[in-house]
Amino acid sequence: MKKYGNDQKNEMRLKLMGMGERSMRKNYYRELVERQNLLEQKNKELEKEIEKREAAEIALKKVNAELENQVEERTKRLNALSRLVQSISHEINTPLGVSVTAISYLERLIDRLRLILEDEAFTAFDFESIDRDMMKTLTVLTKNIYKSVKVMEDFNGIIDHQPHSYPEFFDVYEVLDQTIKTFESEFDIRDHVIDLICPQELVIKSYPSVLGEVLYHLMTNAYVHGLNGKGHIQIKFKQENEHYILICSDNGRGIDASILPHIFDPFYSGRFGQTTGLGLFRVYTLVHKQLHGSIGVVSEVDHGTTFTVKIPE
């Protein structure tokens, strides 16, 4: 139980009369103002935090977008790879299937031959017809086996190689000019014009045979798919911003926007059956894997096509 001594009772009495310390205090205004300032300060700090968080969010979104891009690229490549494998197996299946059929037919022919030889009354005519059939079948068999071999060879030709060699110094103009001459000797270019714009006596360090092959395929592509009537192929080479740029443009039929994304895919052929569909895929592989560069294409239907190859020095 609270017991109050006289002093305490007096103190209580004074407080009741309004003399209490807190009652007399007027400095609460100062305290309230200080509290307010503190709150404002906290507010400012919070605002700064929010700014930081927002910036972090933006950075995160950026990274996310990049990652998504990479995933997309990977997926594309995987898809291309699976399509490649599918195409190969399809290409090989047919000739192998025919080969199997041919072999079984050959077996039947051999059986017939045996029967004939056992029969003492065989004639030259009987033998000749079987012989003819056997030769025909062998031809078919051979053709198809070689076809399969070719498919695998072509395939080998386009997948990852060990790099040919080390880069070497060479005169660009000479290599490109030589490639063009080779091309002109293989294709009928009487109705067409081929231009080369390239600085003379420019020596660069790169892979001359790879560069030549790239140009060769690009020109083939332009010739086979693009040009009609009086065709014009322009080849340009220049040095820019620590990169070498090779441009191959034609004034031909152009490429429709719907097939443009697929032209570098393996076995994708604009003219079904007539080409392997591997030319541009080869170019893509060479440019990226051997030359460590990139290739881009711009095209419009009836207004020609331009391929731009960019490789670092």
Which of 95, 94, 155 is CA-nearest to residue 281? Answer: 155
Using CA atoms, how far apart are residues 159 and 180, in angstroms rounded to an integer? 25
**C-beta of 17 vs 124, nearer to another protein:** 17
Q: How far is the CB of 10 from another protein (least distance, A)?
A: 9
> Which residues 6+ apart lie within 8 Å of 308 measured at CB?
245, 246, 247, 295, 296, 297, 298
Which of 180, 102, 97, 164 is CA-nearest to residue 137? Answer: 102
- Interactions with another protein, residue window 258-297 (CB under 8 A): none
Window of 7-15, 48-56, 174-182, 193-201 that interacts with another protein by CB under 8 A: 7-15
> Which residues 6+ apart lie within 8 Å of 110 measured at CB?
134
Residue 166 interacting with another protein (CB under 8 A): no
Using CA atoms, how far apart are residues 225 and 305, in angstroms rounded to an integer? 10
Return the exposure string of 222-259: e unless at least 16 CB atoms fall within 10 Å of the residue's CB, then b. Answer: bbbbbbeeebebbbbbeeeeeebebbbbbbbbbbeeee
Residue 18 interacting with another protein (CB under 8 A): yes
Instruction: Check if the beta carbon of residue 171 is closer than 8 Å to that of residue 201.
Output: yes
| Burial degree of 284 (CB within 10 A; 0-12, 13-18, 19+) | buried
Residue 157 interacting with another protein (CB under 8 A): no
Q: How far is the CB of 42 from another protein (least distance, A)?
A: 17
Longest dimension (CA), the chain: 155
Tokens representing residue 45 in the block = 């700090």
Among 5, 7, 21, 160, binds another protein (CB under 8 A): 21
Q: How far is the CB of 24 from another protein (least distance, A)?
A: 8
**C-beta of 46 vs 257, nearer to another protein:** 46
**C-beta of 17 vs 121, nearer to another protein:** 17
Task: Show the binding pattern over residues 22-51: x = contacts another protein (CB under 8 A), - = does not.
Answer: xx----x--xx-------------------
**C-beta of 32 vs 67, nearer to another protein:** 32
**C-beta of 2 vs 271, nearer to another protein:** 2
Residue 143 interacting with another protein (CB under 8 A): no
Residue 7 interacting with another protein (CB under 8 A): no
Residue 5 interacting with another protein (CB under 8 A): no
Residue 4 interacting with another protein (CB under 8 A): yes
Q: Which residues bind another protein (CB under 8 A)?
A: 1-2, 4, 9, 12-13, 15-23, 28, 31-32
